[in-house]
Amino acid sequence: MMFSPIFSQSCSKLLLGLVVITTMSGCAEKTVTPGQASQKEPKNAPDPTVSTTEKKPTKEVLSAEPYVGKVKMSYMAAKAAPEICEKLFCYCGCDYTDEHASLLDCFTSDHGVDCYICQEAAIMALKMKRKGETLSNIQKAVDLRWGKIYPFFEQPSANIKRYWATRLWAPGKEPTAAEKHDDNAASLTPTMAGDNSAEEKKTPGCCGGKNADKVAKPAR
């Protein structure tokens, strides 16, 4: 069958028109507005960071390497649990003699070398931490074990008052009756500096007791 040139030309134009329409339709489907693009594109903004790292104390515990025996053990304990020691109070009297605010201060210096109370408290704290005890329970154990030895209950320092107010197990400004020192009861004090043995004496604390010349007398 033969088609006239005019008919063939018309068909060609018709086919070309269909191709153009189809192409434009496809482009229209792919074209989106800027607002739509922002909705479909994945968000690259990072999720809020949740820090699970516990804040470390700013003071560094001294190395345990120069020491031996219980002294070495206590410095190792403080090094392993500085965040616990920073929340404990040392009852040897060093809040007046050395202006210490926490048990950690005893081990960021060489104070812990000669103080058996500091040593025992740090070792106790680490043992309880490893058993999964809470900070509240550790504070309570240390307070009840060593609180009676504190030499200055009559005129407590600002540091221990701050500790009493913020501790977890019994927050308040005054010690509990179980913590208060009995002046008629003997307390343990070391027989000599650097010796871990102890004898019964009437002097509370480990830093010279109430009559030590180096104790800064609290203002009246």
- The answer to whether position 42 is within a domain reads no
- The answer to whether position 176 is within a domain reads yes
Closest CA to 195 of 139, 113, 73: 113
Q: Residue 205: its pLDDT value, please?
A: 63
- The answer to whether position 124 is within a domain reads yes
- The answer to whether position 35 is within a domain reads no
- Tell me the average confidence (pLDDT) per consecutive run of 10 residues in the chain, 220 residues long: 51 50 48 48 42 59 96 97 97 93 96 95 98 98 93 90 94 81 47 37 50 40
Domain count across the chain: 1
Tell me which residue range forms the domain holding 86: 69-201
Residue pointed to by tokens 């009493």: 164
Contact between 112 and 207 (Cβ < 8 Å)? no
- The answer to whether position 5 is within a domain reads no
- The answer to whether position 3 is within a domain reads no
Q: Residue 41: its pLDDT value, please?
A: 45
- The answer to whether position 140 is within a domain reads yes
Helix-strand-coil split of the chain, %, nearest 5: 45, 5, 50
